Amino acid sequence: MGEFWRPKIWKMEVRTMWRSGKGFTLIELMVVIAIILILALIAVPAYRNMQIRAKKARAQEDLRNIATALEAFFVDWNQYPEQSTAGEMSDEVKAELTGGQEGSGASINTSSHTSATGETGPISYINSIPDDPFNPGHTYYYECDDGHSGPWYLWSVGPDGTSDDRGDDDIVRTNS
């Protein structure tokens, strides 16, 4: 009779020891990994959307500030900085708006000229021309049609990172 009970006790001890072990089963690990992957699949696109929304807000604010500088420049000089071909803001336009702090080239906004309001240059309308958040290392795009009289267009390349000449997902500001 003693031999009859030993295997049962031995089986119970092994079963109890296995269940109270310090490890996880493969199924438990797979469930935890699956939950983590599901959460990551939800979080990553949401994070990406938040980044795009933040860059759009920054671009809109930058364009508003540059537009304010362009209009203040027009009040003083009775013209807009000229850039007849669409493209990144030229060094001349940067020099005009920053009073020579950025950019280079010929500028009516110098100490040798007097503005329509009687100011003598250089006048800084904006401290610096920021880079496009969607195109790091590059400034916003600018175009002034009809010589110096406008209308002007400012735009960011937008989330796709390419300039579509003020189309598709480009973020555009204009005075027209």
Predicted confidence (pLDDT) per residue in 47-58, tens digit:
989 999 999 999
Tell me what pLDDT residue 1 has: 52
What is the per-residue pLDDT for 40?
Answer: 92
| In a domain? residue 121 | yes
Asked if the structure places residue 37 within a domain, the reply is: no
How large is the angle between the packed helices 91-98 and 26-77, nearest 10 degrees? 70
The DSSP letter of residue 148 is T
Domain of 89 in residue numbering reads as 54-176
How much is the pLDDT for 150?
74
Query: Tokens 């790091």, residue?
Result: 136
* 70 domain-assigned: yes
Please give the tally of structural domains in the chain.
1
Tell whether the model's pLDDT for residue 104 goes beyond 90: no
Average pLDDT over residues 29-51: 92
Q: Omega before 151 cis (within 30°)?
A: yes
Check: CB of residue 89 under 8 Å from CB of residue 157: no
**Range 55-71 burial, b when 16+ CB lie within 10 A, else e:** bbebbeebbeebeebbe
Pair of tokens at residue 107: 């500028």
pTM of the predicted model as reported, rounded to 2 decimal places? 0.72
Q: Which of 126, 145, 146 is nearest to 154 (CA)?
A: 145
> What is the Cα 28 distance to its own chain's centre?
41
Mean pLDDT of the chain: 81
CATH number of the CATH domain containing 62: 3.30.700.10
